[in-house]
Amino acid sequence: MKKYPILVALFLMSRVCQAQPSPILTLNEALRLASGRNLQILSSGKEIERQEATWDANAATRLPKVAAEARYIRLLNPISFNIAPGTLGNFASTGPIPSREIAISNVSGSQATVQLTVTQPLTQLHKISLGLDAQREAIEDATQKNRADRINVAVQVQDAYLSLVDTQNGLIAAKDSLEFTREVERVTSEYLKEKTVLKADLLDVQASRAQQEAQLDALERAYQTQKEQLNYLLARDLNTDFKVEMPTISQEVTQTIEDLEARAQEQRPDLAQTRARLKQALINTEIARAAYIPDVGMQFGYVHNGNSGLLPGTYLTVALVATWDIFDWGGREANVEARLKQAEEISLQVEDAKQRAALDVAQKFRAVQNLKALEKTRKLQVEAAEEHNRVALAQYQVKATQAQNVLNTQAKLSAARRDYQKWQIDLAHSVAELYQSVGQAP
């Protein structure tokens, strides 16, 4: 018997847990989560790190290169050779050394050699410096790509959030309409018993109620899909439950179209990317021209020979090393020409991007104006629908109108309210897209 209180307590706890409402996810919180967790943003951030690591690797080539080499040599077959008289010198006091030809035969054995070299590039420093400048532009390109991703993801999150708000409002309106229709069905059933309405009137109400139930089910499925899409943008479990609320979003655009176009020329990430690519192409042209310069470096060496015999066991060397392809059969010239053409191509892309930015801003600005012009219309439509619905409901309560008329006015009122809510969300979408075209996140 003692187990029953425990079971009752567990049952009540489970009911309390089930009754807990879903947590509210605000738009600001959603934007914050996406900024730090979205996979697209993190991926482009890794590209910045990769480009910076490449710059560090290239910068290291400016420093001296230290190399060590060790060899162990063993002859596979004996060798023989002759040392001619005077090979080691001819002096007045001693005469030629050696004084006669000496034959050395059947030389065999092994030898160990250790060599340490330090090579400092000289003329290559100019090419390396140009390469580092080009790599800086590659970093800038990657940085602007990451910035563009952040803006795009922010706009996608806001769009998904507002779409979810729209669907959530639709669910609330659909439930209210369904509740109203069920009440009308109840009243119509009573009127049918009193024989003040026809059976066809009741069937019309029941058909409307069945249609609204089907629409409500479809909205609930769409609502779940949109929640999963927003969870995906936030890089979290798709089944994470939450609710949304209509955020307070500034829908005013105080700047003129000229001001917005000027800001777009300065702030848009795609423009900054093409400018960085143009600088990189011009630097690559200079790198191609630098190929005409010979590679000259200073090399210091330390050599140690084991079992050297007559040769010195250890010695130091210094050398000036120069390499240059004398004949390249026009390869260098063709490479310079190719880099010039690439720079010209990107220069045209920069001009095209400027014009596309101005066109994009103009289109988005006028789209906002068009929606702002509908504000008074949407409000008046709601007021008119509310008045028609009030009159029809009053007439129905005194049996002066048919149930279908009440349902029609209620449907028009619900549609008018939904149109006004959708207008608010569309305007927020449009304003966000306008600022995106300027190069600014919501």
Which residue type is seen at 52?
Answer: E
5 pLDDT higher than 50? no
Q: Give the pLDDT confidence score for residue 85 in this predicted structure.
A: 83
Q: Which helix (H) or strand (E) holds 317?
A: strand 314-323
Q: Each residue of 240-292: pLDDT tens digit?
A: 999 998 887 766 778 888 998 998 999 999 999 999 999 999 999 999 999 99
CA atoms within 13 A on the CB side of 427: 21
Residue 283 CB burial class (10 angstroms; 0-12, 13-18, ≥19): buried
User: How many Cβ atoms are within 10 Å of 217's Cβ, its own excluded?
Assistant: 11
**pTM of the prediction?**
0.76
CA-to-CA distance for 307 and 109, rounded, in angstroms?
9
User: How many Cβ atoms are within 10 Å of 411's Cβ, its own excluded?
Assistant: 17
Which residue type is seen at 46?
Answer: K
Instruction: Read off φ and ψ for residue 117, nearest 5 degrees.
Output: -125, 145
User: Quick one: three-class SS letters along 161-177?
Assistant: HHHHHHHHHHHHHHHHH
Q: Which of 234-238, 273-277, 391-395 has the lowest mean pLDDT?
A: 391-395
25 pLDDT higher than 80? yes
183 pLDDT higher than 70? yes
Task: Identify which of 137, 92, 173 has the alpha carbon closest to the alpha carbon of residue 279.
Answer: 137
17 pLDDT higher than 50? no
CA-to-CA distance for 413 and 382, rounded, in angstroms?
7
Q: Give the pLDDT confidence score for residue 277 in this predicted structure.
A: 94
**Domain 22-69+111-438 carries which CATH code?**
1.20.1600.10
Mean pLDDT (whole number) for 92-96: 79
In this structure, are residues 322 and 296 in contact, taking their beta carbons and an 8 Å threshold?
Answer: yes
Query: Domain residue spans in the chain?
Result: 22-69+111-438
Task: Identify which of 417, 411, 418 has the alpha carbon closest to the alpha carbon of residue 389.
Answer: 411
Q: Each residue of 63-73: pLDDT tens digit?
A: 999 999 998 88
- 163: tokens are 């779409």
8 pLDDT higher than 70? no
Residue 150 CB burial class (10 angstroms; 0-12, 13-18, ≥19): buried
Q: Give the pLDDT confidence score for residue 198 in this predicted structure.
A: 82
Mean pLDDT (whole number) for 19-43: 88
Q: Which of 45-59, 150-164, 184-198, 366-380 has the lowest mean pLDDT?
A: 184-198
Count the residues in the chain: 442
Q: Which of 311-320, 345-354, 419-428 has the highest mean pLDDT?
A: 345-354
Mean pLDDT (whole number) for 345-373: 91
Task: Identify which of 434, 352, 354 has the alpha carbon closest to the alpha carbon of residue 151.
Answer: 434
